[in-house]
Amino acid sequence: MNGQSQANVMTLQFSSRSENEAFARVAVAAFVSQLDPTLDELTDLKTVISEAVTNCIIHGYDNEPTGMVSITAAIEGEDITLTVSDQGQGIEDIELARQPLFTSKPDMERSGMGFTIMENFMDEFEVTTELGVGTTIRMKKRIESKKALYN
């Protein structure tokens, strides 16, 4: 409870258009920069945001630009929590979707690595999805750079 009240929170909402992917990465990176992350940490966070937002656009909304993508970033101590949501079609088989190299859209040359990358680059990763309702990805990472500085 105490921790929650101290969280520093930012929320973004934007149209489900691929040109907004770069914007989402830069906006989250700018917000997180107050934690003084290393370049590697910043790249990890930009990559996972890119993966999650791309999933919303391609899979959640099936490239329909009228959908809205939401990102919430919360800083609590040294932890950054990122939540990326859509109100799209949801994921039918989440276990299958999380398999490395699996893609539901092989014709679009998707690599099937999105979930694998998010799981690898973050400390915590969870998916909530419901068919016809939407999908929410919640990810957490500890930013270690300040500690490393003292050592």
Partner 1 sequence: MNLQVELEHRRNVLITRLRGELDHHTAEIVRFQLDEVIQRGQVNHVVLSLSELTFMDSSGLGVILGRYKQIKGRGGKMAVCEMNPAVRRLFELSGLFKIMHVYDNEHLALNGLEVVS
Contact positions toward partner 1, by CB under 8 A?
A: 18-19, 21-22, 25, 40, 43, 46-47, 50-51, 54, 57-58, 100-101, 108-114, 116-117, 120
Kindly tell me which of 7 and 22 has the beta carbon lying closer to partner 1: 22
* Dihedral angle over CA of 21, 77, 126, 87, nearest 10: -50
Question: Which is closer to partner 1, CB of 62 or CB of 130?
Answer: 62
CB of 40 to partner 1, least distance (A): 7
Question: Catalytic site residues?
Answer: 51, 55, 110
- Nearer to partner 1 by Cβ, of 110 and 140: the residue is 110
Q: Within a 10 A sphere around the Cβ of 119, how many other Cβ atoms?
A: 17
- Write down the least CB distance from residue 24 to partner 1, Å: 10
97 with 104: CB under 8 angstroms?
A: yes
Q: Which of 102, 104, 138 is nearest to 119 (CA)?
A: 138
Rg (Cα) of the chain, in Å, rounded?
Answer: 15
